[in-house]
């Protein structure tokens, strides 16, 4: 009787386990990526990625986020558009999902 009433109302009886969706994977945890000192080799302004040559440590692709602070030697703050290939920088970074992420970029003289 209950089943007929539910069907008449358009309510389907669906087992709870069948309706459950798998949960998305947890976000990658960030860890300290250390300090990268080197020269900018390339700037991808659209993707927000810097190419960095850190000498003996090698070459790195570093993601620049909207929250990244870019400090000049004159105590002024800068934007990604101010960065150019050939500039010396010091980058305080983290690593998330296997990618370097700039937290603070300091422009060096």
Tens digit of pLDDT per residue, the chain (109 long)? 555 554 555 555 555 554 556 666 656 688 999 999 999 999 999 999 999 999 999 999 999 999 999 999 887 999 999 999 999 999 999 999 999 999 999 999 9
Tokens of 41: 């080799």
Separation between Cα atoms, residue 105 and residue 23, nearest integer Å: 36
- The pLDDT value recorded for residue 75 is 79
Please tell us whether the domain made up of 32-108 is placed in CATH 3.30.750.24: no
Residue 40, Cβ density class (10 Å: 0-12 exposed, 13-18 middle, ≥19 buried)? buried
Distances (CA, A) of 74 to 50, 102, 106: 22, 20, 10
Domain ranges of the chain: 32-108
- The pLDDT value recorded for residue 23 is 62
Separation between Cα atoms, residue 44 and residue 53, nearest integer Å: 15
Say if pTM beats, i.e. exceeds, 0.85: no
- The pLDDT value recorded for residue 61 is 98
């Amino acid at each position: 009787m209950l089943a007929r009433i539910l069907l008449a109302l358009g309510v389907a009886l669906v087992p709870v386990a069948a309706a459950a969706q798998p949960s998305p994977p947890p976000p990658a945890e960030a860890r300290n990526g250390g300090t990268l000192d080197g020269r900018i080799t390339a700037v991808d302004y659209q993707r927000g990625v810097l190419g960095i040559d850190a000498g003996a440590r090698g070459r790195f692709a570093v993601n620049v986020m909207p929250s990244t602070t870019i400090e000049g030697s004159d105590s002024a703050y800068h934007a990604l558009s101010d960065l150019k290939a050939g500039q010396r920088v010091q980058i305080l970074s983290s690593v998330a999902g296997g990618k370097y992420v700039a937290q603070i970029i300091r422009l060096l003289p």
